[in-house]
Amino acid sequence: MAIDATIIRPQPNRKRCKRRSRNRSVIGVAADFRMAGKPQKGARSMDQRRRMERIARELSGDEPKPELWQQALKAAAGDRDKAKVLYIRARQEQIVASERAQEMASALQGDIEPDAGKSTSAGSGTASKPTHDDNAAPAVRTLRGELADLLTATGKGSFYSALGLSPTCGDGEIARAVTRLRALGDDRAAEIRYAIDALGDPNTRADYDRRLRDRLLAGPSDTVRTDRTSPAADSRSGGRRSRLYAGIAVAVAIVATATVFHQRGLQHAAEAHERQAIYELVNSRTARPEPAAPIETSSAPAHDRDRTVRIDEAMQASQPEDYLTRMLRQQKERDEYQARQRAERQAKAEARRDSLAARRATEAGRAAESRRMADSAMAARADRERRYWRCMNRTLDQADAAGAKASCDSLR
């Protein structure tokens, strides 16, 4: 029997495309997205395949662009499969814009041909023929040369790759690339804006070069950053942040509670110390002997002067004593008021207790009387029953039952 070996090409718009597994690999997602586009031939098809392979590597294990990934995840309402498709679309547009800007920059500079910009390495993102800034200081040129070598060796991206330039390019080339991107309207992408802010000024560019060089030399820090920005680590980082925030909140609450209790203790201690000082001052003034009265003389001016001195001394001595006396009187009044309040509360409590005891005694007497009356009624009824049946027994010997019952009913 012959086997039909006709190859049926996949149709992405059929309903069977909707029944694909949600757990398909990232490479499969990239391939489906590539199949959904229009078929391209020649160099354009090769560029498309290279872009999709680069995006697939970013999503499968390398570092995805955190800004694009967060935007895609938010637009997909948390669905990671949809977020991957949106990320592929946005990342492809970003790579195409970067390659276009790189081609135009290379064409205007005359360093490479316009079509040669497509041979840029997907990992490093630098031009195939980098230019050098001859006006820079030797230390700066050495730093940028090391940075270019590190980017080529590690395959990491940078802001230079976003602008389509090499780390060894001059400040004038960066300014021309920024002007060109703004003229084309390609500076609205987040990565392009960050690249312009970091590389547009020579001072910020030098700081960025040093930080990037140090980060590339420190391998473990890159790993930590990749884990923090990868889609698989979103839930882990969120859990760590939640636990950290909870611990900080508990520590702040404990410190605030301890501070409040400490302040209250200090306030009570200060009040007690102030009261003790007032009592000691009053006691010392009370124990102080009265000054001897000055001897009056017949001289009128001396007498007036002595009287003025006595008045001043009396006023000076009376003011603190009046204040202390008033403080003591107020304290005594407060103590007496509190004592009266306690006595009133105690009297009310005793009255309530006596009333409750009297009510309970009354209720107990009523209950006892009720039981006594019930017992008396029961005993009387039992006595009537005994007399009735005794009468019935005597009468039945002399008369019939009807006559006996008629004669004994009055006893019941």
The 10s digit of each residue's pLDDT in 35-87 is: 444 444 455 666 778 888 888 877 777 667 777 788 888 888 888 888 888 88
In a domain, 56, yes or no: yes
The 10s digit of each residue's pLDDT in 2-37 is: 334 333 344 444 444 444 444 344 444 444 444 444
Overall domain count for the chain: 1
| Nearest-angstrom CA–CA distance, 98 and 100 | 5
| Nearest-angstrom CA–CA distance, 80 and 19 | 17
Q: Is 56 in contact with 27 (CB distance < 8 Å)?
A: yes
| Nearest-angstrom CA–CA distance, 84 and 69 | 8
Angle between helices 80-109 and 66-75 (to 10 degrees): 140
The dihedral built from the CA positions of residue 175, 181, 185 and 188, taken in this order, carries a sign that is negative
In a domain, 41, yes or no: yes
The 10s digit of each residue's pLDDT in 196-228 is: 888 888 888 889 999 998 988 886 444 434 344
In a domain, 146, yes or no: yes
Domain membership of residue 182 as a residue range: 15-234
Q: Is 94 in contact with 72 (CB distance < 8 Å)?
A: no
In a domain, 70, yes or no: yes
In a domain, 289, yes or no: no
In a domain, 264, yes or no: no
pTM: 0.27
The dihedral built from the CA positions of residue 87, 90, 93 and 98, taken in this order, carries a sign that is negative
Which amino acid is residue 28, in one-letter code?
G
In a domain, 173, yes or no: yes
> Which candidate, 243, 242, 246, 224, places its Cα nearest to that of 233?
224
In a domain, 254, yes or no: no
